[in-house]
A and B are shown apart, each in its own frame.
Chain A
C-alpha cells in the first residue's frame, strides 16, 4: 500500500478508520460539522495539536484526526489516546521534502497538505509505534 502522508503516531492501534478528509479552519466550521450530523463520515484535518479547537468533535465521537503540527505529548495527542481515536500528528506529504518548523512560517507547507488531502477519501494506519500513515482510498 502506498501512503500519501505520514506523521507521528499518537498511539498504537489496530483501528483503521476511513472517511472523507475535511479541513477545519476555525471554530465555526467545527460547530457547523457537529450540527450537520455528518461528523463520523469524516477524517478531520486541523492545523494545530491543541485540544480546545476540536473539543466538541472529540466529545461527539470523531473517528480520526490528522494534524499538521503537534506530537503525542501535545494535549490533542493525549486526548486522542484517551478517546482511542487514531490521530496522525505533524503530518507531511511523502512526495515532498517540506516539513513543519516549530515557530516558523508554515503557511505554504500547510496549504500544500490541505490541497493534497481535502475532499479525498483516506484511511489511517496507526499500528506502528512511532509513525502514523495516511492512504488514499480509491
Chain B
C-alpha cells in the first residue's frame, strides 16, 4: 500500500533520504535535515516573509530587502545541500573535469550574468520575465524548467558568490545590487511558472505540478498502457535510459539535459512524471554528431507509475528537475508511457509529434550511435578544451532558454560578448587547481554551507564593487 500522500499533509515532516545534516549559517542552532522537515526549519528561521507564498506585487517589486536576500541565501544554500550533497561524493569523472569547469562557471556567472539579465529585464519588463516562466505551463520540451530556473539563483548567485568569497576575490558586502538582479530574475521566472505563490519545489513538498489541465489531458490521452516486464515496458525503459544518458553527455555530465515535472495524479490513482530529455542542443559545436544521427532537440516521455504496486512512501521532484522515490526503483512499476518529439528548441507546440513505443527501437540506434561518437570525440579533447566547453555549458545554457524567449540572446552575444570569457575567470583557471581549491575547498564550503556568508544587515542595496586589492 502506498503512503506517499501522507507526505502532503501539513503536519507531516516527510522522510529522511540521507543521514547527513546541514549547519550553514545557523551556528549554535540545531542542524537542519533534508526534505520536508528541512524546508520547515528554514522557513521558521527566516527573518522575512520571502520564503512564504508571495504575491505578484511582491514579485514585480524592483529589489529584495537585505533581510530577504539573506533568507534566500540561506534557503538556497540548504536547498543546494539537500539536492546535491550525496552527489558530491562521486569524485573525479575520469572523462570530464567537472569540478574544475563547475567552479569556473559559478564565478563567471556571478560576474557576467547581472548585466545580461538586467538588459533582458529592461527589454521585456518584469512582467515579461514572469511570462517567460509561465510559458512552461503550456509546453513540453522547454528548457524553461526547474533546473535552469533554479540555477539562475542557486548556481549563478549562490555558488558563484560562495566560490568568489572562498577565493577571497570578493567580500560579503560586495555586489549587493548585482545579487539582487540575479535573484529577482530567478524569482520572477519561477513564480510565473508555478503560479501558486511559491518559487521552489522544496517549498511545496517536492511537487512541480505546473502544466495546465488541457495540456495534461492531451498528453494523458496519448499514453499507451502495458504490463510491467512486457515488451513495450522494456522498450520504453530502454529508450528512456539511453536518451537520458545522451542528454547527460551532450551537457557535459550535468543535469541541464534532464527536466522532470510532476507528480501528476491521474483519475485512476496512478501518477505521471513528464520528463524532457534534451538530446541535441544546437548551440554546442560538439552536438554535430547528434545532427548526423538525426537526434532531435528533445524527447519528452510521459511515465505512468503505479504507486500501489510500488508501495510508494515518498516521491520528490526536486529543484534540479530530478525524481527520487522511496523505494528507489520506480522503473519496474511503470505501467504506461508516451514519447513525444520536439525537433528544435523553437518548434511550435502544434508540430510536436508522438512516436509510438513500438517504433522506439529504430530511434534508439541513432541515440546509441550519437553517444558513442560523442564519447569518442570527448576522449580526444585536451583537458583545457573539456574544461572550457563544460564551463560554457553551465554559463551559457543556464540562462539560454530565458534569453531565447525574451529575444535577447543575439543581443547578448553581439553587444555583451556573451561567449567571451572574462579575464579574471581566465586567470582563476590557474588558481583553482592549486591546494585542492576546486576539488576540496569549494565543495567543502558549498556543502557544509559555511561559504554562503550573509550580507551585512546595514549594507546599501545599491552597493556594487568598485575597487580591487
The answer to whether B241 and A55 touch across the interface, beta carbons within 8 angstroms, is no
CB distance from B416 to the nearest CB of A (A): 30
Q: Is B436 an interface residue (CB 8 A)?
A: yes
Partner of A56, one of B90, B94, B96, B375: B375
Asked if B86 and A55 sit within 8 Å, CB to CB, the answer is: no
What residues of B have a CB within 8 angstroms of the CB of A53 in the complex?
93-96
Q: How far is the CA of A34 from the CA of B379 in the complex (A)?
A: 14
Q: A27-B95, A81-B328 are in contact. Are A70 and B379 (CB under 8 A)?
A: no
* Nearest CB in chain B: distance from A37 CB, A: 14
The answer to whether B242 touches A51, judged by C-beta atoms less than 8 angstroms apart, is: no
Q: Is A49 located at the chain interface by the 8 A CB criterion?
A: yes
CA distance A27 to B328 in the complex (A): 29
**Contact with B237, one of A55, A59, A82 (Cβ below 8 angstroms):** A82
Confirm or deny: A90 has a beta carbon within 8 angstroms of a beta carbon on chain B: yes
Tell me if B224 counts as interface (CB < 8 A to partner A): no
The reply on B322 being an interface residue by CB < 8 A is: yes
B residues 391-409 near A (Cβ < 8 Å) are: none
Q: Which of A55, A100, A103 contacts B245 (CB 8 A)?
A: A55
The answer to whether B13 has its CB under 8 Å from any CB of chain A is no
Complex interface: chain B residues within 8 A of A73 (CB): 84, 86-87, 324
A25 within 8 A of B: yes
At the interface, yes or no: A79 with Cβ under 8 Å from chain B?
Answer: yes
**Distance (Å) between the CB of B166 and the closest chain A CB?**
13
Number of chain A residues whose Cβ lies closer than 8 Å to a Cβ of chain B:
48
Q: Which of B94, B237, B327, B436 has the most CB of A within 10 A?
A: B94
Query: Whose C-beta in chain B lies nearest to the C-beta of A25?
Result: B94
| A79 touching B241, Cβ below 8 Å | yes
Asked if A59 meets B92 with Cβ closer than 8 Å, knowing A78-B322, A79-B241, the reply is: no
Q: Give Cα distance in the complex from A47 to B249, angstroms.
A: 18
Cβ B98 vs Cβ A50 within 8 A: yes
Q: Which listed residue (B89, B92, B444) contacts A100, Cβ 8 A?
A: B89
Q: Which single member of B84, B241, B328 contacts A11 (CB below 8 Å)?
A: B328
Q: Using Cβ atoms and an 8 Å threshold, which residues of chain B touch A104?
A: 440
Residues of B within 8 A of A72 (CB): 86, 328
Distance in angstroms from B30 CB to nearest chain A CB is 24
Given contacts A102-B443, A103-B440, A129-B327, contact A59 B86 (CB under 8 A): no
Q: Which residues of A have CB within 8 Å of B92? A: 47-48, 50
Chain A hits for B443, CB < 8 A? 102-103
CB < 8 Å neighbour of A70 from B89, B249, B253, B331: B89
Contact status A50-B253, CB under 8 Å: yes
Let me know if A27 and B379 touch, CB within 8 A: yes
In whole angstroms, how far apart are the Cα atoms of A90 and B98 in the complex? 19
Q: Is the CB of B87 within 8 A of A69?
A: no
**A54-94 residues at the B interface, CB under 8 angstroms:** 55-56, 58-60, 67-76, 78-79, 81-84, 90
Q: How far is the CA of A71 from the CA of B441 in the complex (A)?
A: 20
Query: Which B363-395 residues have a C-beta within 8 angstroms of A?
Result: 367-368, 371-372, 374-376, 378-379
User: Which residue from B89, B378, B440 sits with its C-beta under 8 Å from A74?
Assistant: B89
Q: How long is the Cα–Cα vector from A32 to B143 in the complex, in angstroms?
A: 35
Q: How far is the CA of A102 from the CA of B442 in the complex (A)?
A: 12
Set of chain B residues within 8 Å of A67, measured between Cβ atoms: 90
Per-residue interface assignment for chain A, residues 16 to 28, with 1 indicating a CB less than 8 Å from any chain B CB and 0 otherwise: 0000000011111
Cross-chain contact A103 with B436 (CB below 8 angstroms): yes
B254 closest partner in A (C-beta): A75
Chain A 29-58: CB-based contact to B (< 8 A → 1; otherwise 0): 011001000000000001111111101101
**Given the complex of chains A and B, what is the CA–CA distance between A55 and B376 in angstroms?**
10
Contact residues in A for B237 (Cβ distance below 8 Å) = 82, 84
Q: CB of B248 within 8 A of chain A? A: yes
Q: Identify 8 residue pairs between A and B in the complex whose beta-carbon atoms are under 8 Å apart, listed by A's number.
A: A26-B94, A50-B91, A51-B253, A53-B96, A58-B245, A73-B324, A75-B255, A81-B328
Q: Which residues of B come within 8 Å of A, CB atoms?
A: 84, 86-96, 98, 237, 240-242, 244-246, 248-249, 252-253, 255, 322, 324, 327-329, 331-332, 367-368, 371-372, 374-376, 378-379, 436, 439-440, 443-444
